Amino acid sequence: MSRILVFQHVAAEPLGTLDALIRARGHRIRFVNFERDPDAQPDIDRYQGLVVLGGPMNVEDQRARPHLNTELHCIDRALQQGKPVLGICLGAQLLAHALGASVRRHHTQEIGWYRWQATEHGEADPVLGPLGTEAPIFQWHGCTFDVPREAVHLGRTATCENQAFRWGDDAYGLQFHLEMDVPLIERWLAHPAYRDELEQAGLGHGPAEIRAATGELIGDMQQRAEQVFSRFLDRVGRPRRRIVLGSRD
């Protein structure tokens, strides 16, 4: 049985629908909640995969939040060991930063529903392929990343060029939130800090518009998300190669 390490930054941003999919596969989950335990020192060596979730902080906050340095170290070690890594939103930005790419404030925030537009590589990608050429995706971010050197650019939206990348075979950074369901979206819309962020963003839409779009689009995204996450978990659950020694005559 494989074990997956999950970095969580705030209670409001859990695994969402990915949680049930991981458990249904029989993987064991070890959460490290840095909001509760900012001094935690997790050991990636004991796990077969790493998931880094989102959060309201930014990569540039490393001095005020030293746990971000801890996370970067663990991401780097996981990559060195060839272990599957999935970064979601802040997690994608941390993954990009660990790979030497720039992370910065974006010229506009993306909050709510946007259209995924796959690159040629994205359409053919073994994990993100189920998103197809275009698909509805849920967003909540104000920063963006450059695609790391030697990584593959997988998709964009009309307002943010770099939405996803793959580094190597098993490391994925997703700027968006495929893990959302209706209760989690409602939780964010009701959260005072998140609600204020949406209001101050001046995007021309608010909670009512996001709720209406959610009713129309959530089903499509969840169907695609289940396929995407399942394909990523296939990589985590792949059996380790065994070295068979030949017998001597």
Distances (CA, A) of 79 to 111, 170, 174, 214: 30, 9, 16, 35
Catalytic residue among 74, 89, 143, 160: 89
**121 CB-contact burial (10 Å; exposed 0-12 / middle 13-18 / buried 19+):** middle
Q: How is residue 134 annotated by DSSP?
A: E
CA distance 88 to 119: 19
48 near 39, Cβ under 8 Å?
A: no
CA distance 44 to 67: 15
Tokens at residue 134, please? 């275009």
- For 138, the 3-state DSSP assignment is strand
**Residue 179 annotated in active site:** yes
Catalytic residue among 13, 71, 110, 179: 179
Rounded to 10°, the helix 182-190/207-236 angle is 130
Kindly tell me the number of DSSP H helices and DSSP E strands found in the chain: 7, 9
Catalytic residue among 9, 67, 97, 177: 177
The set of catalytic residues is 89, 177, 179
